[in-house]
Amino acid sequence: MLQDKLLIWKLRRGSTSALCLIYEKYRDDLLRVAAGLLKERSEAEDVVHDVFIAFVDVSGSFTLTGSIRGYLTTCVANKARNMNRTKFRQRTVSLDEAEPTVSNLKRPDQWIICDEEFQQLCNAMAQLPYEQREAVVLHLQGAMKFKEIAEIQETSVKTALSRYRYGLDKLRSILDGEVTK
């Protein structure tokens, strides 16, 4: 936490090395969280890029109350949620029609390089209801507490915990190849 505060203190003074350090330290974790929350890899990349851009934009007046990781993860979760809502309004598809979370299409400018295991995991995640997926991803990949997840989801801690458990159970079923209803 002290190191985070020092990094923010430096960043507020325009330190490029502080920005580099924050970026290198949290980039992969944020991409992993975003990829877990969004169906399209390119969307996940966009969300993380946008979050970093916004972070830089407010860096001059930024006050850290928790950890940098927690702050950035919350930003990613909020952006991903907004993106999902927008997409939901635009188009609703059944699970069967849903595209895999991680597109196999390779682009020279792609940011996330997925191995098969990660791809399978993301595809399984994509089959969870969004709130459950969010609870699982934010807790296990974003290292967030259920209290923090509850705040993001605007619900009780108990509900966030339930969503996490249901999500985990369903994920286990999917990964084990069991038929779920």
> Residue numbers of the site for another protein (CB under 8 A)?
6, 11-14, 16, 19-20, 23, 27-28, 31-32, 35, 49, 52-53, 56-57, 59-61, 109-115, 117-118, 121, 136-137, 140-141, 168-169, 171-172, 175-176
CA distance 75 to 150: 15
For residues 93 and 175, which CB has a smaller minimum distance to another protein in the complex? 175
Minimum distance of another protein from residue 12's CB (angstroms)? 6
Q: For residues 18 and 150, which CB has a smaller minimum distance to another protein in the complex?
A: 18
- Are 157 and 104 contacting, i.e. CB atoms less than 8 angstroms apart? no
Q: Is the separation of the CB atoms in 149 and 33 below 8 Å?
A: no
Closest CA to 166 of 121, 123, 129: 129
* Pick 93 or 180: Cβ nearer another protein: 180
E strand or H helix that includes residue 134: helix 130-136
The full length of the chain comes to: 181
Cα separation, 146 vs 136, whole angstroms: 10
How far, in Å, CA of 167 to CA of 131, rounded?
Answer: 9
- Identity of the residue, 97 or 176, whose beta carbon is nearer to another protein in the bound complex: 176
Residue closer to another protein (CB basis): 46 or 151: 46
CB of 121 to another protein, least distance (A): 6
| Least spacing, CB of residue 95 vs another protein, in Å | 20
Amino acid at 96: D
Least Cβ distance, residue 24 to another protein (angstroms) = 8
Q: Are the beta carbons of 161 and 146 closer than 8 angstroms?
A: yes
- From the CB of 62, what's the least distance to another protein, in Å? 8
